[in-house]
Structure 1
Amino acid sequence: MDKSGAASYVYAKACGMLGKAYVGKNAVKLFNAKSLSDLWALIFTEPVPVVPEMLLANQIEYEAVKRFVSQYSHLLENYTSPDSFPVELLRRYEIENLKVFAASLSMGETKAPRIVDIGNYSVLDYSGWPDLSKITKDSPFEWYNAVPRIAERQKLDYALDLQEIKNLWSALNHVSDGTKDVLVDFFREIYSIKNLLWALRLRVYYNFKKEAVEENLFYVGDAPSKSDPICAYAYEILDWDLDSFPVWSKWRFAEYLNRHEEGEVWSIAPMVVEQNFRYFEAAKTKKLFHQYPMTDVTLVMFFRIKQQELDCIRAATERLRLNADKNEAMYVAGVKPDALEHDIER
């Protein structure tokens, strides 16, 4: 079908799927499940696999991802030639597959690990196992052609993540339906926040100094800098006193800080800030999905909202596996039932 027809069909299908998605208040159902078997029955129509609890937990998470990739791929397939940006979003799973392959090989494993197959959108040749150079040959990741030492993996994982972000930024230039500026603004905001949160965690939990944090930031230019489109938020707070509420109270995101009580010792809590940003993104994606129907924004926001659902499924699965507190698990997943019905804007 032509692009306008495909866009109309995709929007209608996406609306239907999101109406059933376990996000917002609907996500609470996941955390009300009494067992992993109950959780499986809630999410899937297939019979519950007869496997040990640990394997069932892994299977729930894996099948949820597989189902999402299938749903998203089917939406893309309605376009004769989809724009590159919505396709590039799937590359996240290729990168995770490559990390898993490299980790398995570096540990001396001989059996190919389980992966998430993205079908026709794949650029890796998984039949090349166990030869990493064959797996990545003629792909954007051809440079990753040797089994890394265990000590090298973190650096190489960072390089893969950085390549993903740069590829996404480049693909934004090819959005053809008039929503390029909307997606650029969204991408810049979301990845600026990711950088900011990463910088906070490195400073608070690992006591990284400014120079060390800079070396671990993501960027879309030639190097991390204050002027990079996704680095400004992180650079802004690199020198701030982590224990001074008066300093942080003037921050552009002060509303997302952990509570300050007069007369009590205060330190910034990255987890609280992150959770509040999750609430912000959940509302933002929902709003943009409906604000720009039948455009690339539909696909991108569908992708992001379904990622939120996968986060909730993982958290609900872990809660049952570890017998953890329901409210704590919901908090970790970013579920805020009484707030997600409202649009959050800044």
Structure 2
Amino acid sequence: MAYNIAVVNSSSFGQVFTEHWQELEKIGTVKRFMLPTDIDGKSLAEKLHGFNIIIASVTPFFNKDFFDNKDETLLISRHGIGFNNVDIEEAKKHSTQVAIVPQKVERNSVAENELANLMALVRRVVPSSERERAGRYQDRAQFMGNQFSGKAFGVIGCGNIGSRVAELFSVFGGPVLVNDPHPAVEPEWFTNNNVERVDLDTLLSRCDYISLNASLDDSSLHMINADALKHLKKGAYICNNARGALVVEDAISDAIESGQLSGYASDAMEVEPVKANHPFLKNDRIQLTPHTSAYTYECLHGMGEKCVDDVKKIVAGKRPVRELTHTLDD
């Protein structure tokens, strides 16, 4: 069988670690596609016609229309830990294996970036640095921030990454609260890390700094909306390194304007890339980064290694590790 491999919407796979691309070229033809993030399923299938292995980024969406119109696809290997842009049931119906990167690969990189982005937001690092670059040293008194020591911290979503964020927050000596209906940690983890499990309203009302780490599904879509923000402790900060659609963007802007929310940092937006006229880009209390939480050398190397291993296993007639679907014969 001839293997044609499409790398879709990943600007990093095979770029820093070129050996990963070279490994795939030993297996078959490899081509990079940079497609509109909102491309429809049928058009996506047409673009990828003839490619039976796909290495996929966080976009576009491999939905029912994609699978109904696509020729044989053996594997979709996510260059990341999430799989919300792949219709798993449809993949199963079409005998397509779906694999993701093990969460431990991204755990430290994403959690550390959550803390870095939050601290940069609170201490106003970006705007003050820009003012210094412009020769405006005399403006420094405009960039007052807040300290972290002794404050209350909240983590919404206590999975692999959220639990690590909570552990990092604990070094500041204040209370750490977690909200998650199904935390992916053992019960003793809460005791060992002095973490309190609470409902969402309690977390919002008590915490000075809040990290969004929930996975995106029907129950979490737009969970931080206008009603939720009414419960927010006045002057709190929120950082989102998970999924942009966890928040209602207009509600975030309104909360900042009213002073209920002091600032918002996000590495993920509901629609990416962000358009130049997006109101968030015009608000100096909002800090955006282009989905770079996993962009450390250690993390990207591990992600690339996993995708290459997925492809090699498929070629060898084996299942990828952490594959999410099974063939119809199973």
What's the TM-score once normalised by structure 2's chain length?
0.26
**Structure showing the higher helix proportion among its residues:** 1
